Each structure stands twice: as structure tokens, then as C-alpha cells.
Amino acid sequence: MTTQIPRPTVTRFAPSPNGRLHIGHAFAAIIAHDIANNDPDGQFLLRIEDIDGPRSRPEFADEFRRDLEWLGLEWIEVEQQSKRIESYQRAIEALQQQETIYPCACTRAEIEALPKRQTEDRRSYPGSCKGQCVARVSSAEIPVAWRLDIDRAMSEVGEIVWTDEFAGSITADPREFGDVVLVRKDLPASYHLAVTLDDAADGVTLVTRGQDLYDTTAIHRILQELLGLSVPHWLHHKLLLDETGEKLAKRRGSPPLAERRLRGDDGLMLAEQLRLQKIATGT
């Protein structure tokens, strides 16, 4: 670890109940659990991130709790995301008032047909409809997403700095992401908005999660600045790979923890084996 973790150490495991947990999730949960438990005043939270419409299923959330118990973990469960919609709406209103978000009614096909910026190829959406969809939206009942006006937001906020336990102090520029969606057409908040608000509301002081989410932290930091939220530290850990070197993923059919549990495998032993893995990236 390179930095002083803010005390008390409050970590969280925040699975989305749209599929079953695999061993990579067990690794992530154990890391968050053990770091919190290292601090006598620490807390390990479980937050079910269930705002993914019909893809979120309560039976998966029930299974997650049984899986974590089987691994020998203890946690405090905080409110699931589907019960926090009002807090997302309040944040959206604040961002609307600041004019740091704007409505976008573009369809996927329309966005794909847009000319891409040459130099910033990570921008999947170049912001070309900014200011134009407003008329479209008010003239008809059409589904609308809300996008962060990243250039405007950055001019409000200035420099974005955050602290990662392994990478140290990072100065990031979220402009490379372009105008990300904060409210999806079909959902009350995007991952970026919901996770940032919830981590602040839950008093999380150390966000632990996989290295694949490292870059998105810059977006979360800008939202914290715009909304006046507390700023935790982050720890982005190594991802476990399958035998072919691919990242484990629910959609690729990595064997679910529940399958092992139900066939009588020893969850405590599995947890001990996972504790032997290095968590720092690049090791």
C-alpha cells in the first residue's frame, strides 16, 4: 500500500444481481472484507446494485448473500440501489440546474453514424447533439438520456486528482471519455452516477474494485466535485484470469460460486486460497 487509508476503513462489495457470482467476485469481496477488518473500527458493506431493470433479479441477490456466508464473510448490508431512486433524481436536478448535463434523444444508430473525433478515439460519443436535442425532447414524448457536458464540467471543476492505494496520487483528465451518459433512457441513473452517490451516502472511505474500472474513477471524481460529495481513496486490484488468460465474467459463463457451494465444496478453504493471491496489479 502506498497511502494512508482514511479511517475508519469503510469498504464495500457492490454486485449487480444480473447473473451469478464467480471466483473473481469472491476475490473482490474478500479483499474489501479483509481490509475493513484490519481496522478495529472498519466496516465491510454489501450493496446490491439492482437498477438494471428486468435484468436485476432478487433471486441472484439472495444467492450472493449465501455465497458470501459460505466464504465465511460478515457484512453490513446497506440499502439496495432500487430504493435510492429519489437521491439519484435530486442529484440529476442539481446537475440540470448547473447545466452540466444535457438531454440526448439520439438513438444508437444515430450516434454510430456520427463522425468520430480523430484524436480522442475513446469518445464513443462526440457531443454533436449538445443543445440540439432539447427542442426534439420538448416537442415529443420520446425517451431521453442525460449526458455530462464534460467540457463544461471540467471548466467548473479544474484539475481532477485522486488517490489509489497502489498507483498513488493520480491527475486524470475525464475529457477523454466524452459526454458520458448519467441517466440512461431506460434507467434512472447510470452506473457512474449511482455508484458515486451511493459510496458517498454509505460513508465508504476506500473503494476497492477491479483494475478494469480504474479509468472510470476520473468520471466519479468529477461527479464528486460537481455534487459536493466526500472523496474516498481507491484501491484497484488485480483481476483473476481464467485458464485461457481471459478476465472472468458472468457473461462468459465462468463457473458460479453457487455451483461449488451446492456441490459441497469448502468455501472457507476457497477463501483462504484466494487470500494467497497477490492483489496489487502488475504482480
Query: Is 257 an interacting residue with respect to ligand GLU (CB under 6 A)?
Result: no
Q: Interface residues for ligand GLU in 196-255 (CB under 6 A)?
A: 209, 213
Query: Among 16, 56, 163, 224, which residue sits at the site for ligand GLU (rule: CB under 6 A)?
Result: 16
| DSSP string computed for 71-120 | TT---EEPPPGGG-HHHHHHHHHHHHHHT-EEEE---HHHHHTSPPPSS-
- Kindly calculate the radius of gyration of the chain based on its CA atoms and give it in whole angstroms: 20
Nearest approach, Cβ of residue 110 and ligand GLU (Å) = 28
Q: Check: CB of residue 50 under 8 Å from CB of residue 79.
A: no
Query: Is 194 an interacting residue with respect to ligand GLU (CB under 6 A)?
Result: no
Query: Among 20, 34, 49, 50, which residue sits at the site for ligand GLU (rule: CB under 6 A)?
Result: 49
Query: Among 10, 14, 150, 182, which residue sits at the site for ligand GLU (rule: CB under 6 A)?
Result: 14
Cα–Cα dist 184/164, whole Å? 29
Query: Among 5, 11, 15, 274, which residue sits at the site for ligand GLU (rule: CB under 6 A)?
Result: 15
* Site map 147..186 versus ligand GLU, x via CB under 6 A: ----------------------------------------
Query: Is 17 an interacting residue with respect to ligand GLU (CB under 6 A)?
Result: no
Return the closest-CA partner of residue 230 out of 217, 221, 219, 218.
221
Pull the grid cell for residue 231: 472523496
